[in-house]
């Protein structure tokens, strides 16, 4: 006599826990997938702190892989595709990231894990406790498998569903990568209002390194000897940090060649300002500079103030601008901040009376006609 196993209907509590776990994975993959380039920057941070520098050139590929894996696990949990295998695969993934976040929390290797992209910010310990909570939910679901045999989606349908879901996600990520994130969770988003007073609400510290000795000094901005030309020749800008407070306004230190602060002139100034942002001129798209050259006559005609923000070498930057006949002030800022400002190298930002109006990736730089229509509309 053949013994058959009895199948049980999935209890409501298990259904809720399964959907909760799956939706957390889907949300996490979505907010990272909307900004795959930003996710790759976070992957680079982890690779550097663990000494896996050989993998840094593949950070973008790795970010695609991590996001896709997280998405497919969440999708399979929600739609009961290969449920048993999915639960065990999810267990392995969660154990790995729980250990990783524990080490990160103990040693504070990376200040922000980026597990929910820029949408939700968690401390390292909060991330670790979140993973522990997800592990508890997962273990309940795994133990319940011994008592309840929940029917999974038929394998043929499951494969097709996961395949098309993967294609959709990769297409979604690639669109956001080639253009700009369709949802911007960062403070440098369209509609952001800048005021000169924003700089006073938070303490900004700038670091400089001595070219000869390598010594690094930190100063409370703007209280540092930038007016001393001799000092400025001996020291080079390294970076900045901000002591956060309740203000949600972004803070950016913008310096000209003398070290003077130009934030108010660019982001809080009256009239139109067109900001060309390139954190690294050497790695920027050259076609974008040709497009900027086409915009020059219109910009002059409409009295649009244009500047270049970069973290690159001054001499090389001037050479590039000269090559394309571009005459604009060159200001310098922290590379990390410029990467957060716009996910394109270079990118273009239009401001009007201290309000961020529009952002363009280099693939989407406007034609003179489109720019003229936008300026006239404002």
Q: 150: closest CA among 14, 34, 24? A: 14
- From residue 143, alpha-carbon distances to 14, 90, 137, 214, 284 in Å are 11, 14, 10, 57, 52
Span of 173-177, 316-320, 358-362 with lowest mean pLDDT: 316-320
Judge whether residue 207 has pLDDT over 50: yes
Q: State the sign of the Cα–Cα–Cα–Cα dihedral 122, 123, 127, 130.
A: negative
Q: With bands split at pLDDT 50, 70 and 90, how would you rate the model's confidence at 229?
A: low
Helices and strands in the chain: count of H runs, count of E runs:
12, 8
Q: Could you tell me where the beta strands, DSSP code E, fall in 267-321?
A: 272-278, 305-310
Rounded mean pLDDT, 279-306? 85
DSSP element (H, E) containing 318 = helix 314-323
The pLDDT value recorded for residue 215 is: 81
Choose from 60-64, 261-265, 319-323 the range with maximum mean pLDDT: 60-64
Residue 168 CA to chain centroid, in angstroms?
Answer: 21
Span of 25-29, 234-238, 347-351 with lowest mean pLDDT: 234-238
- The residue that leads in pLDDT, 260 or 94, is 94
Q: State the sign of the Cα–Cα–Cα–Cα dihedral 71, 77, 83, 87.
A: positive
Neighbours of 8 (CB within 10 A): 13
Question: What per-residue string of b and e applies to 197-214 under the rule 16 or more CB within 10 Å gives b?
Answer: ebbeeeebebbbbeeeee
The pLDDT value recorded for residue 202 is: 59
Rounded CA separation 292/64 (Å): 31
Strand-strand pairing, 355-361 and 235-243: unpaired
Rounded CA separation 345/311 (Å): 12
Q: What is the DSSP letter of 108?
A: T
Backbone φ and ψ for 80, nearest 5 degrees, come out as 55, 45
Span of 203-212, 280-289, 340-349 with lowest mean pLDDT: 203-212
Neighbours of 97 (CB within 10 A): 21
Rounded mean pLDDT, 309-328? 88
Burial of 301 (0-12, 13-18, 19+ CB in 10 A): exposed
Judge whether residue 6 has pLDDT over 60: no
Q: What is the DSSP letter of 193?
A: B
The pLDDT value recorded for residue 99 is: 93
The pLDDT value recorded for residue 30 is: 96
Look over the chain and give the mean of its residue pLDDT values, rounded to a whole number: 85
Rounded mean pLDDT, 257-285? 86
CA dihedral 281, 110, 103, 75 (to 10 degrees): -80
Which residue bears the tokens 């820029």? 118
Judge whether residue 31 has pLDDT over 60: yes
The pLDDT value recorded for residue 3 is: 40
Q: What is the DSSP letter of 182?
A: S
Q: With bands split at pLDDT 50, 70 and 90, how would you rate the model's confidence at 221?
A: low
Residue 325 CA to chain centroid, in angstroms?
Answer: 32
286-301 helix and 368-377 helix, angle to the nearest 10 degrees? 50
Bridge partners for 208 per DSSP? 217, 237
Q: Three-class SS of residue 47?
A: helix
Rounded mean pLDDT, 330-337? 87
The pLDDT value recorded for residue 245 is: 53
The pLDDT value recorded for residue 334 is: 85
The pLDDT value recorded for residue 198 is: 45
**What pTM, to 2 d.p., does this model score?**
0.77
Judge whether residue 53 has pLDDT over 80: yes
Q: With bands split at pLDDT 50, 70 and 90, how would you rate the model's confidence at 5?
A: very low
Dump pLDDT digits (tens) for 74-116. Answer: 999 999 989 889 999 999 999 999 999 999 888 888 877 778 8
How far apart, in Å, do the first and last CA atoms of the chain sit? 82
Rounded mean pLDDT, 312-324? 88
Choose from 58-67, 118-127, 270-279 the range with maximum mean pLDDT: 58-67
Judge whether residue 1 has pLDDT over 70: no
Judge whether residue 73 has pLDDT over 80: yes
The pLDDT value recorded for residue 240 is: 67
Burial of 49 (0-12, 13-18, 19+ CB in 10 A): middle
Share of the chain above pLDDT 70, in %: 88
Which residue bears the tokens 């000169």? 196
Q: What structural domains does the chain harbor?
A: 12-178 (no CATH), 196-201+257-377 (3.40.30.10)
Rounded CA separation 4/138 (Å): 27
């Amino acid at each position: 006599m053949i013994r058959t196993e009895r199948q049980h209907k999935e209890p409501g509590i298990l259904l809720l826990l399964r959907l909760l776990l799956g939706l957390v994975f889907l949300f996490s993959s979505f907010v990272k997938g909307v900004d795959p380039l930003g996710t790759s920057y976070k992957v680079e941070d982890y690779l550097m702190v663990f000494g896996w520098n050989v993998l840094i050139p593949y950070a973008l590929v790795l970010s695609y892989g991590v996001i896709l894996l997280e998405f497919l696990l969440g999708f399979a949990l929600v739609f009961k595709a290969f449920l048993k295998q999915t639960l065990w695969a999810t267990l392995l993934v969660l154990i790995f990231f729980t250990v990783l976040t524990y080490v990160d929390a103990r040693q504070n290797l990376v200040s922000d894990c980026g597990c929910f992209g820029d949408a939700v910010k968690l401390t390292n310990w909060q991330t670790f406790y979140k993973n522990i909570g997800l592990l508890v939910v997962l273990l309940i679901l795994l133990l319940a498998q011994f008592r309840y045999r929940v029917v999974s989606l038929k394998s043929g349908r499951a494969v097709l569903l996961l395949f098309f879901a993967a294609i959709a996600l990769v297409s979604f990520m690639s669109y956001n990568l080639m253009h700009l994130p369709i949802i911007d969770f960062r403070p440098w988003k369209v509609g952001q209002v800048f005021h000169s007073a924003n700089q006073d609400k938070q303490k900004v510290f700038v670091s400089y390194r001595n070219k000869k000795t390598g010594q690094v000094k930190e100063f409370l901005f703007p209280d540092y000897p930038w007016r001393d030309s001799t000092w400025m020749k001996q020291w080079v800008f390294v970076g900045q940090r901000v002591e956060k407070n309740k203000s949600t306004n972004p803070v950016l230190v913008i310096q000209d060649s003398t070290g003077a602060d130009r934030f108010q002139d660019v982001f809080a100034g009256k009239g139109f300002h067109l900001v060309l942002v390139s954190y690294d001129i050497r790695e920027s798209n050259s076609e974008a500079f040709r497009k900027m050259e086409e915009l020059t006559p219109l910009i002059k005609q409409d009295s649009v103030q244009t500047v270049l923000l970069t973290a690159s070498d001054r001499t090389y930057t001037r050479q590039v601008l000269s090559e394309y006949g571009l005459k604009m002030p060159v200001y310098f800022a922290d590379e990390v901040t410029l990467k957060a400002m716009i996910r394109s190298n270079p990118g273009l930002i239009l401001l009007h009376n201290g309000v961020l109006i529009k952002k363009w990736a280099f693939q989407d730089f406007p034609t003179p006609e489109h720019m003229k229509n936008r300026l006239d509309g404002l």
